[in-house]
Amino acid sequence: MSHYKVVNPATGETVEEFPTATDDQIKDALARSHNAFSSWKNTPIEERTAVLTRVAEIYEQRSEELAKIIQTEMGKAIPEGQGEIALCSLIYKYFANNAEAFIEDEPLKGPKNAEAYIERLPVGSILGIMPWNFPYYQVARFAAPNLALGNTIILKHAPQCPKSAAVMEEIFQEAGLPADAYINVYATNEQVADIILPDPRNQGVSLTGSERAGSAVAAEAGRNLKKVVLELGGSDPYILLDTPDLDTTVKTFFGTRMGNTGQACNSPKRMIVMDDLYDEFVEKIAVAAQEAAPEDPTTDGSKLSPLSSVAAKERFLEQVNATVADGATILAGEEQYDGPGAFVKPVVLTDVKKGGRGYYEELFGPAVMVFKVSSEEEAVQLANDTPFGLGSAVFSTDEKKAEEIASQIDAGMVFINSPEQSREYLPFGGVKRSGVGRELGPLAMDEFVNKRLVFKKK
């Protein structure tokens, strides 16, 4: 039975299966990717970036088609899917327009009788292991900077996204990328560990996924002395100090949390609210959750599509139930959807106990946890009391105070008076168990690169 298959999460129906790669096919992909690197790295950067520009254009032209593919694969509504594809186009354009500047030689100050500078050079064939929650976007933020730099890519996508994985390879070829500079493989985890990472032709691995997956891949990469970039989970805090318009704030917090049906790493999973606003905030956000019923993902504008799979639904509800069993209060979502597929109703939890499941685990679905605090110090302490450190946000009418609080949060990203955003020019990544490395923005091209020192005596 194939490991890679399209299963419609709205119905649970298997739509299409794809054959898992054989060991020989994986070895062949390694050889082809390595051989392609020898020419791609020497291709003028103007030609490399021209390919990315063309990729961006194709994404725009095929937006509706591409959105329908991931709607069937992982349940994303068409409007959200088209939004993801538009962001991908911006990412490819961004690196097409800026890559040359990002890899310019960096002069070093030294004695007058010498010249020294740092070159930024590609390193070779890189493995990408990508998740299902943003099938195109996750690949774009990895592939665009590395292809611009001159690296080649072997891409292992999530087993439930084989169709979008194949289409992305097709688009690169249509855009003029040389054969084998980007290779899609339907590999198993065992093939990654036993064949790809030990092979000297592989120069590193970038993974976006769960904390568990990141730990496993990092262990194998470390065993083989390979560079890693890990974009893992998050339990992002949003601190609300004060607001001139609580209705708008609740709408912003809830709408951001429900994006992609709550299946985003950088999502406000912990809402930390000052005690004078807490009761009204909880009342309003519970109403918003109760009114947000699951909808068919083909409904235009739907923000409550099914979760990515029935298994994801079961895992999410098990976490919620365990959190309630540990002492939390559930204010919305207690009576869950009992129809077919992976639909769930939004959940609002309060009184989440320290040490309970939801307190330290990432709830990957439409769950809101609200915490009451009585001081700014308590808010910061609670925000940092997590093994994760991806994103965060602070809201206050006093911008200076918000900046002061934000400066104390242990996270890779902090937003002030704004919900978190994923934009092509903003570096994305975390600290602690949220991973290592950065993607997007100018930092993305500083990962899989040889920063080679050149020193010349005059």
Contact criterion met (CB below 8 Å) for 337 and 304: no
What's the rounded Cα separation, in Å, for the pair 51 and 31? 23
Q: Is 304 left (phi over 0), alpha (psi -120 to 50) or beta?
A: beta
List the structure tokens of 305. Answer: 């599509």
What's the rounded Cα separation, in Å, for the pair 59 and 89? 6
If you average pLDDT over residues 334-351, what whole number do you get? 89
Contact criterion met (CB below 8 Å) for 110 and 458: no
If you average pLDDT over residues 93-113, what whole number do you get? 95
What's the rounded Cα separation, in Å, for the pair 5 and 301? 27
Q: Please confirm, yes or no, whether 190 is among the known catalytic residues.
A: no
Reference 128, options 211, 86, 187, 73; nearest CA is 187
Res. 339: pLDDT tops 80: no
Contact criterion met (CB below 8 Å) for 306 and 400: no
Cα R_g (the chain), whole angstroms: 23
CA torsion, points 354, 357, 358, 361, in degrees to nearest 10? Answer: 110
Residues 6+ apart with CB under 8 A from 9: 74, 75, 306, 307, 308, 309, 310, 312, 341, 342
Residue type, 359: Y
Q: Please confirm, yes or no, whether 265 is among the known catalytic residues.
A: yes
If you average pLDDT over residues 98-106, what whole number do you get? 97
pLDDT at residue number 337? 79
Reference 320, options 298, 350, 290; nearest CA is 350
Report residue 302's pLDDT band, with 50, 70 and 90 as the boundaries.
Answer: low
If you average pLDDT over residues 311-336, what whole number do you get? 94
Q: DSSP assignment of 67-106, as one string?
A: HHHHHHHH---HHHHHHHHHHHHHHHHHHHHHHHHHTS-E
List the structure tokens of 331. Answer: 């204010």
Report residue 222's pLDDT band, with 50, 70 and 90 as the boundaries.
Answer: very high
Contact criterion met (CB below 8 Å) for 42 and 167: no
Contact criterion met (CB below 8 Å) for 391 and 409: no
**How far lies 441's CA from each of 41, 140, 141, 426, in Å?**
21, 12, 9, 5
Mean pLDDT, the chain, as a whole number? 95
User: Using one digit for the tens of pLDDT, what is the confidence trace for 48-59?
Assistant: 999 999 999 999
Percent of the chain at pLDDT above 70? 97
User: Using one digit for the tens of pLDDT, what is the confidence trace for 249-269?
Assistant: 999 999 999 999 999 999 999
pLDDT at residue number 458? 85
List the structure tokens of 112. Answer: 């007058």
List the structure tokens of 155. Answer: 């891409």
Res. 143: pLDDT tops 70: yes
Q: Can you give the length of the chain in residues?
A: 458
Catalytic residue among 88, 265, 420, 439, which? 265
If you average pLDDT over residues 402-431, what whole number do you get? 97
Report residue 301's pLDDT band, with 50, 70 and 90 as the boundaries.
Answer: very low
Residues 6+ apart with CB under 8 A from 3: 20, 159, 186, 188
What's the rounded Cα separation, in Å, for the pair 70 and 295? 17
Q: DSSP assignment of 166-207, as one string?
A: HHHHHHHHHTTPPTTSEEE----HHHIIIIITTSTTEEEEEE
Predicted structure pTM score: 0.96
List the structure tokens of 20. Answer: 């898992």
If you average pLDDT over residues 125-138, what whole number do you get? 98
Catalytic residue among 73, 84, 231, 447, which? 231
Res. 116: pLDDT tops 60: yes
Beta bridge partners, 129, equal: 156, 207
Q: DSSP assignment of 260-321, as one string?
A: GGG--SSS--EEEEEHHHHHHHHHHHHHHHHH-----TTSTT-S-PPPS-HHHHHHHHHHHH
